[in-house]
Each structure stands twice: as structure tokens, then as C-alpha cells.
Amino acid sequence: MTTKSETHIHILGICGSFMGGVAAIAKQAGFKVTGCDEGVYPPMSLQLESMDIDLIEGWDVGQLALKPDLYVIGNVVSRGNPLMEEVLNRNLPYISGPQWLHESVLRSKWVLAVGGTHGKTTTTAMLATILDYAGLNPGFLVGGLPTDFDLSSRFTESNFFVIEADEYDTAFFDKRSKFLHYHPRTLVLNNLEYDHADIFPNLEAIETQFHHLMRTVPRTGAVITNQNSLALNRVIERGCWSEIIPFGTPENWTYQSVGNGTRIELLNNNRPQGAYEPDFFGAHNLDNALAAVLAAQHCGVPIEVGLRALEKYRGVRRRLELRGEAKNIKVYDDFAHHPTAIRSTISAVKQRHPDARVLAVFEPRSNSMKMGHHNDSLPASLDIADLVYCYTKGLDWNAAELFRAMDKKVSLFEDIPMMTRAIVNSALPGDFILVMSNGGFQNIHEKILDLLGSKVN
């Protein structure tokens, strides 16, 4: 792999979670790295600046004066972008972020990739933690900030690299899913549902991309797959040329709670294989953990070592993350962006704290949500909460009509300060306020905590 410091790459769209991770890896690998974005914003901007990566605001064509050896293009860039247009006009060398990552880093690695609609970030972080605990010193690229590492990506000389495998498209000039560039030897597939309505017309189109991904796994590789996903089963039926390691049913790998419910026992064909006591909870997180242990086992890490690592796992920012507590009211942040993830997160809190009320604070922010593609299942996913507060500004659908059957349980707002006051006025000691969005949500978490702190009981 070329790691010469004189090789200069300039990254367009550098502040996205994936491209920022690519930038950090390139810098650690010895490349000279600069980049630009529209709205050079924290936390990624701070992480990159701490690595002495020069960031430029906007797309001014004057950046061509940097004369990099290669332009690396993120999928936020489209035709009409003035800098990209000039790169094309002058026939300058450019490449997508995923392709650069494969050619410059992944080609020589044992790649462990984690795909699926839900749980990719958490499972990737868990898997990186296990391999690190086992002394394998993996490189990784996670779509979030794992607390155990305090950085979203890293480059090492290890033979192993763990990556979150996103099915979103690669670049304006390459409409294949990003993960088709990674060529994993170990592939984790947790689940598969319809999402990304802005680029996929239906679930079948997404399944086709996953089928193409399956074709890149070598015969000596393995696919760790959740047997409870009908869509994944269809993908497998279309062709698999590698070992399949199934989980999720009693006939293969699964888990059960023992003792007081905090001890989790792993089973293979109903035979105990080990147990652990994690700090995390919820069926979705236990599925993620099982998949991570099995993926680590495929590259030589014993099950017992994986379980001990998971007992030390401290989570990922914005994945059921406790942001603070005031007046005996806890405020959590979660990245939930799909009805299944929303329901799983609320259910996890309810199961762990059955006597507590859950106040769900929700922003339908993803393209699929704003377009109304999940409206059939969205009310039911929120209905298990005790109270629901939904931010409705900018939606393409009528929220009052959609949630009519939930009556007084749901409150709708287009104003964040009004929404914050309503939440705080309703909150009682012992409540859990669960904020769910795949964006910043105008930092409503801190606004709620500040107002709770000044609340007179």
C-alpha cells in the first residue's frame, strides 16, 4: 500500500461520517489530506482539525490551486457542484471514497463488514472492541463514535479491518451500494427492511444490492446471517458461495436470559456455549452482540474471549446514550430512524424499566420518513410509549391525520421551544425521556435538561 507523505488527496464532502472516517484513515496511513464541505461542522470537523487536516468551507474552484494528486469524492457531491464541475472540465483524477478505501487500505486486509438496515454501527463497534480486546489491533471505520475508542476510525498495520457496510449509493458517478467496494471475508447481515426511499424504489431493489454483495465474499469467507429476516433469507436463496453461520433460531446460534435477567447465555443448537453480563440491554442489542461474537470467532477469536470483551463494551454515542439526568428524570439520545428501530428502542427501555414511563420525542428526519414511506408502521412503533412528542416541520404528510387514532397520547409541534416546554411540563420523577432522530434535532436534549434543571417541583 502506498503511504508516502507526498501523496496528496483532497476530499470533497469531508465532514460526513463516512468521508471523515476515510480522511482520518488516510492521514494515519501517511497521506497528505485536505478537504472541503458545505458547513464544516462538529463533531467531525473538530476530530479532523485535531489531526491537522486542513478544512475548507464550501466548493470554491480556487481549491484547485492545492494541486492534489487525487480528488476523493463523497456522495454528498452532485453534478452542478462548481468544484466538481471544474475537476471534470480539466480532466483531473478523481475517485469515490469507497473505491479509494478499497484500493489504498482494504485490498490487503481481512475485512469484516457489517450490513443490514438496523444495528450496523453498534455491531461494528462491538466487533472492533472484541478484536481489540483479543490483541488483534484492528483498523476500523464506524458510522458513529464508539466510546471505547473515542474516534470513529483508525488505521493500523493489523491484518484485520472492521467496517460498517452501508447500502447507500457510492457517488454521483457510481450508483452501486458503498459496500460493493469492500470485498469482505467475514460478512455480518443483521436484518433487512425497506429504507432509503430516495434511492431505492422497493425492498427488492435493496435485496439485489445485497445479492451482489454476497457475490464478493470468497469461498473461504463466511456470512453471519439472522435467520429471522425473511428478506435476508431471500438474498441467501439467490446464491451464496461461502460458509453460512446462521443465528436467531433454536436450531443454530441464539441466546437466553438466565438468573435475574442480566446474565445472557449463548446457545448453539440448544447447547450452552458461554455466558456474560453486559451493561447494554434490549433484544436488538443482544442480537448485535451475538453477531459480533460469531464474526470474531470466524477470524480466530474464541467465544469466551468475545464475551469477556462485551462485558467491557461501553457503547456508541447516540445509540441509547444517556445524555443526562435532572430531577430524577433521565434523558436518552438514540439514532432511531426507522419504525422497527424506534419500536426496538422503546421496547428495550420498557423491558429493562417496566415501572417507568417512557416519553418518546421523535423527529421524522430521514428521507424515507419525510416522504411518508414508513407511515403504515410508524404509529404502531410509537404507540408502546406512554407519551409521544413529534416534530412535524417539513413533512410531506399530515401528521395529525396519521396519529389521529392515538388521540391524546401524541402531541405535534413545529416549534422546538414550545415542544421542549411541553415535554418538561409533562415529565415526572422516574420518567425516561427518549429522544429519537438521525440528526442533531436542534440539540433538544440539552434544552430539555436545562429546562428540567430549572423546573420547580
Report the number of distinct structural domains present in the chain.
Answer: 3
Q: Is residue 104 part of a domain?
A: no
Asked if residue 272 and residue 201 are part of one domain, the reply reads: yes
The pLDDT of residue 31 is 96
The 10 Å Cβ neighbour count of residue 262 is 13
Which of 242, 277, 312 is the last residue before a domain boundary?
312
Asked if residue 342 and residue 220 are part of one domain, the reply reads: no
pLDDT along the chain (457 residues), means of 10: 72 93 95 91 77 93 97 96 98 98 96 93 95 97 86 94 95 96 97 83 95 97 96 96 95 90 91 92 89 98 97 81 88 82 84 87 80 79 90 86 85 92 92 86 88 75
Q: Is the dihedral of CA 148, 180, 365, 440 positive or negative?
A: positive
What's the one-letter identity of residue 256? Q
Domain that holds residue 437: 321-453
What's the one-letter identity of residue 303? I
The pLDDT of residue 55 is 93
Distances from the Cα of 321 to the Cα of 100, 156, 315, 335, angstroms: 32, 28, 8, 9
Asked if residue 208 and residue 60 are part of one domain, the reply reads: no
Q: Is residue 103 part of a domain?
A: no
Asked if residue 58 and residue 181 are part of one domain, the reply reads: no
The pLDDT of residue 338 is 79
Asked if residue 272 and residue 127 are part of one domain, the reply reads: yes
The pLDDT of residue 2 is 45
Q: Is residue 439 part of a domain?
A: yes
Exposure string of 314-334, with b = 16+ CB inside 10 Å and e = fewer, is ebbbbbbbebbebbebbbbbb
Judge contact between 170 and 75, C-beta under 8 A. Answer: yes
The pLDDT of residue 456 is 61
The 10 Å Cβ neighbour count of residue 372 is 17
Judge contact between 285 and 347, C-beta under 8 A. Answer: no
Radius of gyration, CA atoms only, the chain = 22
For residue 61, what is the domain's CATH number? 3.40.50.720
Asked if residue 355 and residue 306 are part of one domain, the reply reads: no
pTM as predicted: 0.83
The pLDDT of residue 4 is 55
Q: Is residue 1 part of a domain?
A: no
Which of 278, 312, 346 is the last residue before a domain boundary?
312
Asked if residue 260 and residue 199 are part of one domain, the reply reads: yes
Asked if residue 355 and residue 281 are part of one domain, the reply reads: no
Asked if residue 53 and residue 78 are part of one domain, the reply reads: yes
Asked if residue 233 and residue 149 are part of one domain, the reply reads: yes
Name the helix (H) or strand (E) containing 265: strand 263-268
Asked if residue 263 and residue 144 are part of one domain, the reply reads: yes
Asked if residue 135 and residue 85 are part of one domain, the reply reads: no
DSSP string, 208-231: HHHHHHHTTS-TT-EEEEETT-HH
The pLDDT of residue 317 is 72
Grid cell 482520518 is found at 24
